Chain A
Amino acid sequence: MRKQDVSRREFIKQSAGVAGFLAVLASPMATVLARDKASAGMPQEPADKKKRAWCMVIDLKKCDGCVTIGTVPQCTNACILGHYVPKGQQWIEVYEDDLPGGGKYFLPAPCYQCENAPCVNVCPVAATYHDKDGVVLIDHRRCIGCRLCMSACPYHRRFFNWGEPILPPEAAFAEYSPHYPVPAVKGTVIKCMFCSHLLPNGKLPFCVAGCPMKALYMGDLNEDIASNGKDVVQLSKFLSENDAFRYKEELGTKPRVYYLPGHGQTFGRTADDPRPFVPATWPWGGESGFVRPDGIFPWSETK
């Protein structure tokens, strides 16, 4: 594989002239090249340039859905606040699932960043793609909004900006990049991207940092290490010794999110604890999260 890679790169170098010829041949590509030059040269170089294989470990033994502290799931909340997530979308969403012998457990679900990602495979314009660290990104300047990726995702981890999202004014100050898709763009698909704007700078994703139970771990499969911001563990051992599983593993999507089975017992939550989790709230978003017309005529709209 590596060998192939090297020869590929050499080939690229050797055939620079051919590339030029082809660029002329494919006239639509000419505009692309021009635009590319314009957006090049952004100074933001990340501190960490290693090749990573980011993954997440979620210890369900520690996840009590934040019912024992009676708040909305703090991972979801931190994510919403950190990314100005449009109302109605939960990029990391806590699901309540049944245990086989009765009772419930909680399953926080970020984007699983599948290695064999169905969404990336079906995208017609490469608006969603893997970066070298294995994070599935979306370029909202490329996305045409066909939603094929949403229908392909077997985990329902993708959301669509159905209209112009109603966001606080601060969101407009954000410098958009596929690593930090803020503010959300109308008519495009959006999802969790492992906070890949924070990771190279040595900062944990919002959800991991925001989890009061420290149930979420960010890991690097390449360096075999993971951390929840408090403990650092050897990833492979941690996964094996805690019987880790991946959600719907039989689908062959190879998710990069591992779960350690449990139901929040570390914090004294019993399986038959009847308390439901508090649904997430958004400090913005008006009624439906998007600007929509008030009936048939456009002269009144709901914000």
Chain B
Amino acid sequence: MRSRAIESFQDRLERVSLAPLIHTQKTYYLFVFLLLATVAWGLYAYAIQLRYGLVTTGLGDQVMYGVYIVNFVFFIGISYAGALVSAILRLTNAGWRSPITRISEIIAVGGLTDGALQPIIDLGHPERAWHIIAYGRFQSPLLWDIIAITTYLVGSLLYLYLPLIPDLALARDRLGQSASGFKRKIFTVFAVGWQDTPDQRKRLNRAIGIMAIMIIPLAVSVHTVVAFIFSMTLRPGWNSTIYGVYFVIGAVFSGTAVLLIVIAIFRKVYHFEEYIKEKHFRNLGYMLLALLLLYLYLTFTEYLTGGYKMEEGEEQLLTLVMLGKNAPWFWFFVIAGMIVPAFLLIFSKLKTIPMVLIAAVLVVLGMWVKRYIIIVPTLEVPLMPFEFGSYSPTWVEISIGLATLAGFSVMVTLAAKFMPLVSVWELKEEAEKETHHKEEAEGQR
């Protein structure tokens, strides 16, 4: 028997979670407009880049990778939020995951799409990208990337879609005339005739179970091969065996931080306080702390193994990174991106949500800077007896970089209009389970 309190909980859940699909505030339109304007400006900058070539960027023969590749690593990293966090939590059967899985999967798909675009923007001949399919060499790390990212993107889409089916059916059944015809059609088609029969549930749970296991090795493979693009070269700093693991941990780390920021925003805007609770911030904060310490440890070993031996290139690189031109970036990463967030997270019991959030923002900024520190200074180290290289992005790169961020935001923001942001059916299941436990406990007493 269900108690009245739960009934009303479920009604409220449906109302709150479906509200963003039908009611749109003016500020939302303004926000989306601003984002789209940024994207449009980025497209203009890209048109200029297409017309004149990469001469419009600050790149040169020495520092041949810049903002685009930094963003590539960063956004592919963010995508980990998603799948890895939600898959691991699902597999470990952590009940508190239900309200945040959907958002993390949206971040995964958005980050991957955005990240995968970056190398194409970076190409000198983007119109020849099909050469990779027609003439692809399996010996090239770039091909590993293409295959891994494609496979992972498809898997992420599937993993986003599967738990969405019952919620789309809910939207189809409950929204009725309050949603536009276009949206109703989408809900109907994508809900694949979900009627919540036991057979359907069994099949859905089976499919989700397979994908939750599948997505983890895929995610690990993706960031490992992203690291291989760098570590397969004979460059100081890059020529390192630690890179695969380092990138994977870094990706989960930055992904978790981005997830924290995004759930905080959605929680505030769409009043999900009842579902995304302080507990989520606390738990994710602890996860973030653990990952931070792991990343700190890997960073330490990475620099120590290079710095202890002091090969000529490593020496130049470390000088450049710790004392030279890039020192502000590096120390920003160490202090603002690692030490300060660590303390904020350790003492987060004082005021959980703001402290965890500030830590997450700092971590995201720090991790972007860290990717810059990984890519640019290594290229600035001279390979032949000549001067150090230098790099400063031009307006084209900055515009496209901002457009990339805006594009990611737009994907996440628009997703709010086409799917319930919390997994309604999973929350309901959780609530039922809890009531069941309660009733059992009461019955035993």
What residues of chain A have their CB less than 8 Å away from a CB belonging to chain B?
A: 28-29, 31-32, 88-89, 93, 95-98, 107, 109, 118, 121-127, 142-148, 150-156, 158-164, 186-189, 251, 253, 288, 290-293, 296, 298, 301
Contact = CB atoms under 8 A, between A and B. Distances in A.
Contacts of B130: 28
Interface in B370-428: 379, 382-386, 395
Interface string B118-156: 010011111011111111110111110010000000000
A251 B234 contact: yes
Nearest to B232: A122
A142 B143 CA distance: 15
B51 interface: yes
Nearest to A301: B52
Contacts of B141: 122, 148
B125 A95 contact: no
Contact of A88 (B57, B61, B129, B132): B61
A144 B128 contact: yes
B137 A123 contact: yes
Contact of B122 (A28, A146, A152): A146
A291 B52 contact: yes
Contacts of B395: 296
Contact of A121 (B55, B139, B235): B139
B contact residues, range: 35 or more
Given A143-B125, A151-B233, A160-B64, 11 more contacts: A98-B385, A124-B146, A125-B136, A127-B131, A144-B125, A144-B132, A146-B122, A151-B230, A154-B383, A156-B382, A156-B383
B234 A95 contact: no
Q: Which 10 A-B pairs have the closest CB atoms?
A: A145-B124, A187-B124, A163-B55, A28-B134, A163-B53, A124-B142, A124-B140, A162-B55, A154-B234, A97-B385
Contacts of A28: 130, 133-134
Contact of B140 (A95, A123, A147): A123
Interface string B29-71: 0000000000000000000100111111101111011000000
Nearest to B130: A28
Given A97-B385, A156-B382, A124 B136 contact: yes
Contacts of A152: 232-234
A88 B60 CA distance: 10
Most chain B CB within 10 A, of A28, A96, A148, A159, is at A148
Contacts of B129: 144
Nearest to A253: B234
A123 B230 CA distance: 13
A126 B124 contact: no
Contact of A293 (B52, B140, B232): B52
B124 A160 contact: yes
B365 interface: no
Contacts of B143: 124
A137 to B, nearest CB: 15
B232 A156 contact: no
A95 B386 contact: yes
Contacts of A147: 64-65, 122, 124
B361 interface: no
Contacts, number: 157
Contacts of A188: 124-125
A286 to B, nearest CB: 12
A93 B387 CA distance: 14
Contacts of B59: 160, 162
B123 A144 contact: yes
Among A124, A164, A253, A301: residue with most chain B CB under 10 A: A124
Contacts of B88: none
Nearest to A107: B385
Contact of B61 (A109, A160, A298): A160
B384 A156 contact: yes
B124 A293 contact: no
Given A95-B385, A155-B384, A146 B119 contact: yes
B137 to A, nearest CB: 5
Given A98-B385, A107-B385, A156-B384, A126 B56 contact: no
A161 B125 CA distance: 11
B150 to A, nearest CB: 14
B229 interface: yes
Counting chain A CB atoms within 10 Å of each CB, the highest count among B60, B62, B135, B139 belongs to B135
Given A125-B132, A145-B125, A151 B48 contact: no
Contacts of A288: 55
A162 B53 contact: yes
A290 B61 contact: no
B380 to A, nearest CB: 12
Contact of A126 (B51, B128, B137, B386): B137
A164 B52 contact: yes
Contact of A142 (B57, B61, B135): B135
B132 A124 contact: yes
Nearest to A251: B234
Contacts of A292: 52, 55-56
Nearest to A90: B61
15 contacts: A28-B134, A122-B141, A123-B137, A124-B132, A124-B140, A126-B137, A143-B124, A144-B131, A145-B123, A147-B64, A154-B234, A156-B62, A156-B384, A253-B234, A293-B51
A125 B124 contact: no
